[in-house]
Amino acid sequence: MPSSDALLGFAADNPYFQAGFGLLGVGAAMTLARTGSIWAATALRRRMLVSLEIDNRDRAYEWFLAWMAHRTNPNIPTRAARWIRSHELSVATMIERRPNGSSSVFFQLVAGPGTHWFKYKGAWMQVKRQRETRSMMGGQQTGMSVPWETVTLTTLSRDRTLFPQLLAEARDLGMRGQEGKLVIHTAWGIEWRPFGKPRRKRPLKSVVLESGLGEKIEQDIKSFLGRRQWYADRGVPYRRAYLLHGPPGSGKTSFIQALAGSLSYDICIVNLSERGLADDKLNHLLSNVPERSFVLIEDIDAAFNKRVQTTADGYQSSITFSGFLNALDGVASGEERIVFMTTNHVDKLDPALIRPGRVDFMALVDDASSQQARTLFENFYSGIDLPVDEFARLAHQVEEVVQKNQEQGRKVSMAALQGHFIRNPANEAVSLLGDLFHA
């Protein structure tokens, strides 16, 4: 058996063994150096750079993407936006729906998933937009799952004070497009998102209701908004619900939209027949309504009507009546909330829904009265080239025609009257008015 000295001698004299040992040593040294350089680079990065992450649950996410799209607009001077060219773009599609049923589609190019660079107030910043398709927001219960996305901004640590300035600028840009306008929100998964472009506010006086009704509702809301502390002192939940009922086309939804605009409120629309909407999701949505927003639930009578609950493809809404009542005023329901509900058939509503505490203010918005018809005529044709006496005569004739037909049990909706006045000049509108009652 060879001695240890013999083995050491063999190793020292064997060139293959020497080469292997040398390579092993060099490899270990390189690994150690590489690990050290990575550690040093990481430490240097942590010391010199700062990052800000924004995920798509936060309102700042949409504001920032819109800010980037705005700054890359070719009509903006070059000094305002210095971007390195990127081939990674995404499209944001916005749909604007009008009251007459038509719509417009707008496309906006924004930075897509990937890495982008821009210069802001003299400082270079890196933008990394990441999308995780394996993590979906909303989940199966919503039926509207969307990918989890983040935007990460990175810059030198010395420039970290620019982050709040940039976000404030993005916020102001996003809010500027909403000034003087009404924003409609719809449920997207388990959160609220703006639907289409902000629309111009409708003057409250342009919606003609029965004399005094609009003022009464407006005064009730203003009184509610001024009694926050009163509710708190008495331990009463700070929320209020309104039910407007009446025939189609009487102006229920139009009045709610005009009222929201006059109070500088937005509107959050809830569709109880929406695919994927369940009791827990509805409760979450109503407990997390954006500030200064009305919740609008239209055609409440149809929500729990089995005849309309099932869609053409066999889908059936999973909202239960008890779940809906709990969302309105249950233990887990939110506060600081104003809910408007509409229906064409108040007689079909369950008494449990319209009892005091769930509906605080109920009002009939009916077909056109003679006074409403006259007011609408005057609103449409005021300022036309007609003598004052002739204009007054036509307005009085409108009132008479509507009154005479009502005495015979015939009615006309405000929507039908509005369409009639849009289509015809003043004289023709009056002479043909009777035909509306025989249509």
Q: Is the pLDDT of residue 144 over 80?
A: no
For residue 5, the model assigns a pLDDT of 54
CB atoms closer than 10 angstroms to residue 213: 16
359 and 231 in one domain?
A: yes
Higher pLDDT, 113 or 344: 344
* Residues 123 and 155 sit within 8 Å (Cβ to Cβ): yes
Average pLDDT, the chain: 79
Distance separating alpha carbons of residues 226 and 69, to the nearest angstrom: 40
Q: How confident is the model at residue 27 (pLDDT cuts 50, 70, 90)?
A: low
241 and 346 in one domain?
A: yes
Q: Which of 364, 391, 420 is the last residue of a domain?
A: 364
Residue 287 within a domain: yes
Q: What is the mean pLDDT of residues 115-138?
A: 78
For residue 323, the model assigns a pLDDT of 86
Q: Which of 329, 364, 399 is the last residue of a domain?
A: 364
Strands 89-97 and 103-111: antiparallel
Of the given ranges (90-104, 364-378, 422-436), which has the lowest mean pLDDT?
90-104
Residue 403 within a domain: yes
222 and 327 in one domain?
A: yes
For residue 79, the model assigns a pLDDT of 45
Q: How confident is the model at residue 81 (pLDDT cuts 50, 70, 90)?
A: very low
User: What are residue 96's DSSP bridge partners?
Assistant: 104
Q: Is the pLDDT of residue 115 over 60?
A: yes
146 and 264 in one domain?
A: no
Q: What is the mean pLDDT of residues 323-345?
A: 81
Of the given ranges (125-139, 177-191, 347-361), which has the lowest mean pLDDT?
125-139
Higher pLDDT, 96 or 360: 360
Residue 34 within a domain: no
Tell me the CATH number at 323.
3.40.50.300
Higher pLDDT, 300 or 27: 300
Distance separating alpha carbons of residues 425 and 436, to the nearest angstrom: 16
For residue 29, the model assigns a pLDDT of 56
345 and 211 in one domain?
A: yes
Ramachandran assignment for 216, one of left (phi > 0), alpha (psi -120 to 50 degrees), beta (any other): alpha
353 and 270 in one domain?
A: yes
Q: Is the pLDDT of residue 82 over 80?
A: no
Q: Say what percent of the chain tops pLDDT 70.
A: 72
Output the six-digit token pair for 326: 């709990």
Higher pLDDT, 66 or 344: 344
Q: How confident is the model at residue 305 (pLDDT cuts 50, 70, 90)?
A: low
E strand or H helix at 415, and its extent? helix 414-423
Higher pLDDT, 431 or 118: 431
For residue 328, the model assigns a pLDDT of 84
Q: Say what percent of the chain tops pLDDT 90.
A: 32
For residue 94, the model assigns a pLDDT of 62
Q: Is the pLDDT of residue 340 over 90?
A: yes
For residue 401, the model assigns a pLDDT of 93
Residue type, 3: S
164 and 60 in one domain?
A: yes
Residue 15 within a domain: no
Q: Is the pLDDT of residue 39 over 70?
A: no
240 and 257 in one domain?
A: yes
> pLDDT tens across 265-294, in order?
999 999 888 777 888 888 888 888 888 899
213 and 353 in one domain?
A: yes
* Residues 95 and 196 sit within 8 Å (Cβ to Cβ): yes
390 and 299 in one domain?
A: no
> pLDDT tens across 85-105, in order?
566 777 766 666 554 445 566
Residue 210 within a domain: yes
Q: Rg (Cα) of the chain, in Å, rounded?
A: 33
For residue 411, the model assigns a pLDDT of 92
144 and 205 in one domain?
A: no
Q: What is the mean pLDDT of residues 187-209?
A: 84
Domain membership of residue 304 as a residue range: 199-364
Buried-exposed string 332-370: b where 16+ CB fall within 10 A, e elsewhere: ebbeebbbbbbbbebeebeeebbeeebbeeebebbbbbb
Residue 120 within a domain: yes
Q: What is the mean pLDDT of residues 33-52?
A: 69
For residue 99, the model assigns a pLDDT of 46
Higher pLDDT, 140 or 251: 251
Of the given ranges (17-31, 97-111, 126-140, 168-182), which has the lowest mean pLDDT?
17-31
Domain count, the chain: 3
213 and 358 in one domain?
A: yes
